[in-house]
Amino acid sequence: MKKIMINGGKTLSGTINISGAKNSVVALIPAAILTDGVVKIYNTPHLTDTENLRRIIELLGGQIEFGRGELKIDGKNVKNCVIPADLSNQLRASYYFMGALLGRFRRVDIYFPGGCKIGARPIDLHLKAFKKMGATIVRDGDKYTLVAERLHGAKIYLDVASVGATVNILLAASLASGETIIENAAKEPEIINIVSLLNNMGARISGAGTDKIVIIGVDKLHGATIETIPDRIEAGTYMMIGALVGHDFKVDNLIPEHLDTLISKMRDMGVDFKLDHDSIVLNRVDQFEPVDIKTLVYPGFPTDLGQPMAVLLTQANGSSKFVETIYERRGGHFPELVKMGADIEFTNTKAKFKGPSKLKGCDVSASDLRAGAALIIAGLLAEGTTKISNIEHILRGYEDLVEKLSSVGADIKIVEEN
Ligand code: UD1
């Protein structure tokens, strides 16, 4: 079994370059098959998730070339076929092929998606929307068959401002006949990125970044290019590392506006940072003020940063409260941090931290991607050796994690061990 081994307690200096956003690129890739032209996606990160999407594109007959951050997808020979369970369950975003194939072929056969086990994660809002747009849905166990002889626009109110449902509707509605309106749409920066690609391909979409998006369906989309936005969650993770163990620790190629809530909380905690238009330099300080955190949809505090943030809260001088509002089982990191010496009282969605706690390295396990990120941060801060198992979760979302951290002075490596 592969594990990440960290000898902690080192001061880290230098520059970390932020990669393209995982949660953007996993939508941009499926969007490319809406056209029989060529789509180029710049700033594409090399991640297990991108690799798995590439396998799905190839299964569908698409041609895909990936070199030096540039992903080129030629959709000319794309045909419709069943996306089997062993591909769809490799990642959450496989479900974007629902919207993409429904848009292009009016039919999709796909199995339930995978992704981190952080809560129930139903897809009812996606299915309800497709139904409103004219699709019939047949479910056979985990297999979903969606057919829409006439895919048409619809007025869709999302009960939850779901990122996934918003993207899936955008994909199908771009090639549906007539107008689709999404109310209570997700406002995440990744939505703006995917809408930019779709509009570059000839779609007619307005309102991205607000809670009302209007899509006027078109008959055909053409090839286009897009640049993946910087990964705000990766940036936030490295910012926390800089705050805890950094000296002149620069996180480069980020969009500060995407990280407003984290920056504001860091300011309240007394983190030493200097912000520039696309970078931030952090220096470790001796003492942090406690703060309370509640995760919310964008522009609130991102649920994906709630777990990494936990490590910072263990170092605050006093009591901090944490509430997770999006997922009901996002607490897999809490028992592991307690093992390392943190003082945390927790349930699945709430936690109370008393700090500062001295963390000590030990054997821990990553229950999911961002829990793993929290353990990486904790391992870098802790005295002694931390060994993290189940690292495949972490490698799904952080490009060149070990290389990037080694380059700023971390003692971190992947080891093979039982
Ligand atoms: C995306 C991100 C994930 C992030 C999350 C919230 C990707 C690939 N993943 O996940 O990293 O944590 O946004 O920022 O972009 N819901 C329903 N029914 C549905 C769909 C969602 O009840 O049909 C609920 C979910 O259970 C959850 C909430 O809505 O409680 C938000 O989910 P959603 O925004 O859809 O998250 P994802 O797109 O899966």
Any idea where the domains of the chain sit in the sequence? 2-16+230-416, 25-227
To which CATH superfamily is domain 25-227 assigned? Enolpyruvate transferase domain (3.65.10.10)
Whether 83 has a pLDDT exceeding 90, the answer reads yes
Place 71 in a pLDDT band, splitting at 50, 70 and 90.
very high
Q: In which element (H, E) is residue 283 found?
A: strand 279-283
List the catalytic residue out of 116, 229, 254, 364.
116
| Percent of the chain whose predicted confidence (pLDDT) is above 70 | 100
Per-residue pLDDT band for 56 (boundaries 50, 70, 90) equals very high
Q: What is the per-residue pLDDT across 309-362, written as a single tens digit (0 to 9) for each?
A: 999 999 999 999 999 999 999 999 999 999 999 999 999 999 999 999 999 999
Q: Which residue has the higher pLDDT, 287 or 117?
A: 287
Taking the CA of residue 298 as reference, the ligand 1 atom at the shortest distance is 14
How many angstroms is it from 44 CA to the middle of ligand 1? Answer: 22
- 139 falls in which pLDDT band (50, 70, 90)? very high
Domain 2-16+230-416 shares a fold with domain 25-227: yes
For residue 266, how far is its CA from the centre of ligand 1 (angstroms)? 25
- In the annotation, is 116 catalytic? yes
pLDDT digits (tens, 9 = 90+) for 252-282: 999 999 999 999 999 999 999 999 999 999 9
- Split at pLDDT 50, 70, 90, the class of 121 is confident
Region class of 219: left (phi > 0), else alpha (psi between -120 and 50), else beta = alpha
Average pLDDT over residues 291-299: 97
pLDDT score of 418 more than 80: no
Residue 373 tokens, joined: 């990120």
Range 35-58 burial, b when 16+ CB lie within 10 A, else e: bbbbbbbebbbebbbbebbbebbe
Cα of 128 from ligand 1 centre, angstroms:
15
pLDDT tens across 183-214, in order?
Answer: 999 999 999 999 999 999 999 999 999 999 99
Instruction: Place 120 in a pLDDT band, splitting at 50, 70 and 90.
Output: confident
pLDDT at 115: 86
Residue nearest to atom 15 of ligand 1 (CA): 23
Q: Which residues line ligand 1 (CB under 6 A)?
A: 23, 26, 92-93, 119-126, 160, 162-165, 186, 303-304, 326-327
Strand order in the sheet with 272-275: 12-17, 246-252, 279-283, 272-275
User: Which pLDDT score, from 0 to 100, does residue 301 have?
Assistant: 98
**Residue written as token pair 């796909």:** 110
**Looking at domain 2-16+230-416, what is its CATH homologous superfamily?**
Enolpyruvate transferase domain (3.65.10.10)
Strand duo 2-7 + 411-416: pairing: antiparallel
